[in-house]
Structure 1
Amino acid sequence: MTKTGSPARRSEVATTHLMTLLTSRQTSALAFTTILFLILFRRSSRFRYIAKMLGFTLAGVIASLVGITVSPVMWLLKKPGLTNWIVARTMLRIAPWLCGMNVRIEGQEHLSQKELPAVLVCNHQSSLDILGMGAILPPNVVVMGKKSIKYVPILGWFMTLANNVFIDRKNRGHAMETMARIAVYLKEHKYGLWLFPEGTRSHQIDDTLLPFKKGAFHLAVQGQIPVIPIVFSTYYPCYHQQKKVFDRGTITIKVLEPIDTTGLSTSDVDALLERTRNAMLDALKTIRTIPLTDSRSTESKKLK
């Protein structure tokens, strides 16, 4: 006579069998999903773009949450100027791993603390600019953004807590008053102000710049503080939003020599703007974003 065991034993065996079956199916589903992801990631530029943008956005959310967390601590330590720097370096550590873009810097010596206070002006191509800022933003620098960013969940909270500057571009009178107050603040605290004089994203692919707005240069003249031009290489062909391209590569950032504004007046703003823009245009044509394939080719040549 065959013994089948007690009801409890049979139930235990059945449960174990069911769990094994479910685990096997989950493993198979995970393996299938992973294989499908890798195939689409390799073969579809659009899918790769979406996946990397999600990774880049996740990095931004994590970095902003870090900013929200450390900002009160920095205020208590009387070092509020470190919040943006901590967030920037967090972004630099996470984003390249999630999106495959790295950064190399030329002329970083022009961003030492001795250069502050200063107005840091940079070309504005896309949201990917945040990665470059993560690599190069020094301590004691606040960022100017449009007023609407203040109300963006997480990002706006962090920027507000970190004492960054929001400006209403539609109200010119209020904007000019804000600029005058900022000029005084920068000088008193030896801070820098980072802004994008193009005012909007260019999405350029041909080493060009949009026309510059005058606000940054009025501020520099009012405060008699230097302008430090910063240029990010054209992201294309590694990245382009409209074409849904996001491939691995290395962005080149070039920091130019500070432009002194001592003795300049309001009548010199236009000339200062043109001088800065021309210097940035010239620099933009000498640097480029290097695709991963080019990087590997360069390394192979070095080894040979």
Structure 2
Amino acid sequence: MLYILRLAMLGLYFLVASAINFVICFARPFNPDNSRLCGWMYSAPALRLLGLTVRLETEGMLAQPNPFVIVANHQSNWDLFVLGCSVPRRTVSLGKKSLKWIPFFGQIYWLAGNILIDRGNAFKAKQAMLKTTDVMQHQDTSIWVFAEGTRNLGRGLLPFKKGAFQMAINAGVPIIPLCCSNYKRSMNLNRWHSGTIVIHTLPPIATTGMTLDDMPALMERCRTQMATCLDTLDAQLV
């Protein structure tokens, strides 16, 4: 019963938050700080409705000057509510073009200044990747990427895609791994306190002087660090 009530309340709140976020984005379209404000609006009240406690251990990321590339694990669609509160200033994300057509959320996502990639068109995808380099180098803006490319559904890290690492090397900016503990298996919305989630960022990984030949080793280093961190976070919560 509590689960159904929470989903109903969350659905109503999503519509309210979307209306507020649309006003924010319409007032200053494509501003790179829109994502932080919209993420907080979707996330912070929703976490209370869901009975979730999120512990942010992101001080290192917040102290890091822009620009940088955030590489995060992607568990499910709940990430909107779980991770929205952790978006730092002047940070946009990389998403597939089809997100633009999701009612309410898609239009806000686009107006918030996030970068949309058409994965089915190699030329347009390449142009979008070039745009991210320009955004980071000349607009004091960081990029958030789910390097797995899809939801892992709480089954551990999937293989990483190259895009985030190629962007970081081309722009010469550091990578900040962001790890969210496994809530997909532990969250129980039928309990009054439905779970505790930890979001932890690791020290920046410098890419200065790297070339694309260094990318496989960089990807493996980042993934190994994140996998170890996630195991530690999950063990702490158990």
Q: TM-score, normalised by structure 2?
A: 0.90
Counterpart of 2:216 (choices 270, 273, 295) is 270
Counterpart for residue 30 of structure 1:
none
SS in 2 for 1:193: strand
Using the alignment, how far apart are the partners of 1:238 and 1:52 within structure 2? 17
Higher RCO, Cα 8 Å, sep 6+: 2
What pairs with 1:98-109 in structure 2 (closer than 5 Å)? Answer: 98-106=49-57, 108-109=58-59
Counterpart for residue 35 of structure 2:
84
What amino acid does structure 2 have at the position aligned with 1:65? A
Counterpart for residue 154 of structure 2:
204
Counterpart for residue 174 of structure 1:
124
CA shift in 2, pair 1:273/1:86, >3 Å: same
Asked if 1:149 corresponds to 2:99, the answer is yes
Using the alignment, how far apart are the partners of 2:230 and 2:109 within structure 1? 29
**Kept after mapping to 1: 8 A contact 2:76/2:184:** no
Using the alignment, how far apart are the partners of 2:236 and 2:114 within structure 1? 32
Using the alignment, how far apart are the partners of 1:85 and 1:161 within structure 2? 13
Q: TM-score, normalised by structure 1?
A: 0.71
Counterpart for residue 120 of structure 1:
70
For 1:27-73, what per-residue CA distance to the aligned partner results, in whole angstroms no more than 9, with x for missing partners? xxxxxxxxxxxxx33xxxxxx2x443443344333333222101233
Q: What is the number of equivalent residue pairs in this alignment?
A: 236
* TM-superposed deviation, 1:178: 1.2
Counterpart for residue 142 of structure 2:
192
Using the alignment, how far apart are the partners of 2:177 and 2:14 within structure 1? 24
Unaligned runs of 5+ in 2: none
Counterpart for residue 68 of structure 1:
22
Counterpart for residue 52 of structure 1:
6
Using the alignment, how far apart are the partners of 2:44 and 2:107 within structure 1? 21
Q: Which has the larger radius of gyration?
A: 1
Counterpart of 1:218 (choices 144, 162, 166) is 166
Counterpart for residue 11 of structure 1:
none
Unaligned runs of 5+ in 1: 1-39, 42-47, 295-304
- When the two chains are superposed, the root-mean-square deviation of aligned CA atoms in Å is 2.3
Counterpart for residue 140 of structure 1:
90
What amino acid does structure 2 have at the position aligned with 1:153? P
Counterpart for residue 229 of structure 1:
177
* TM-superposed deviation, 1:167: 0.8
What amino acid does structure 2 have at the position aligned with 1:217? F
Using the alignment, how far apart are the partners of 2:198 and 2:66 within structure 1? 23
Identify, as 1 or 2, the structure richer in helix: 1
SS in 2 for 1:81: coil
Counterpart for residue 37 of structure 1:
none
